[in-house]
Amino acid sequence: MSEFKFVKKLRIPTFSSTEQAMEWGSHLNAKDHGMLVKVQRALSDTALGEFDPQRMINLATQSQLMREAADAFVSIFRHVETNAQA
């Protein structure tokens, strides 16, 4: 009997603002946060290797917004952790 493993895919939107990215990132769980960080790093590397200046800017902007989303998760996590200790 074969065993099927279902992989949940993280759907990352194209962010239009820091606020949107932070709002979205604040709802991530730890596993999704890890995936977001991996995707953000890959996108950043892709931007660095891009020859078309406009495409490089677009990729770098989305990478930065993904970083903002990831940072929102960390901020929320620290806030919850601090309140739990109080």
Q: Answer whether residue 34 is part of any domain.
A: yes
Q: Does residue 14 belong to any structural domain of this protein?
A: no
Mention every residue, 6+ apart, whose C-beta is less than 8 A from residue 59: 43, 44, 46, 47, 50
Q: How many CB atoms lie within 10 A of CB 22?
A: 19
The answer to the question of residue 3 being in a domain is no
pLDDT band at 78 (very low <50, low <70, confident <90, very high): low
| pLDDT tens-digit readout, 12-71 | 999 999 999 999 999 999 999 999 999 999 999 999 999 999 999 999 999 999 999 999
Residue 53 corresponds to which tokens in the numbers above? 């200046």
**Which residues, 6 or more positions from 23, have their beta carbon under 8 angstroms from its beta carbon?**
72
Total tally of structural domains belonging to the chain: 1
Which domain does 81 fall in, by range?
22-85
